[in-house]
Amino acid sequence: MYNVTINLVHGDPIRFKVELPEWRLLGLGGDIEKAQLRNVMAIELDGKLLMIPYSNIRLVQIDPVPEELPKHIFRGAKST
């Protein structure tokens, strides 16, 4: 189970939990890279389709960190 928080530039954060099947986790790194090329983040949440423009997203947090990530992401960083 993953906890996701989308912090918006304007508006309250959107928080939800999602369970991803194993087959989806295997391709997650590629999905993250493709998402960076799109204009909106689309989420089915509580029976509704949310389409959030990336221009209104300040930060996305996913906890715990998915195992499969694109190669260009720094891993193991610690706050100072």
Alpha-carbon distances, residue 40 vs 14, 32, 35, 37, 74 (angstroms): 15, 13, 8, 9, 24
Domain 2-63 has CATH 1.10.3470: no
How far apart are alpha carbons 49 and 69 in whole angstroms? Answer: 25
> Cα torsion at 40, 1, 74, 27 (round to 10°)?
-70
Question: 1-5, 10-14, 55-59, 73-77: lowest mean pLDDT where?
Answer: 73-77
Predicted confidence at residue 73, as pLDDT, reads 81
Q: Which amino acid is at 3?
A: N
Q: What is the pLDDT of residues 38-47, one digit of tens each?
A: 888 889 999 9
Residue 5 has pLDDT above 90, yes or no: yes
Predicted confidence at residue 50, as pLDDT, reads 94
How far apart are alpha carbons 55 and 41 in whole angstroms? Answer: 10
Q: What is the pLDDT of residues 20-69, one digit of tens each?
A: 766 655 555 666 777 777 888 889 999 999 999 989 999 989 898 877 77
Q: Where are the domains of the chain?
A: 2-63
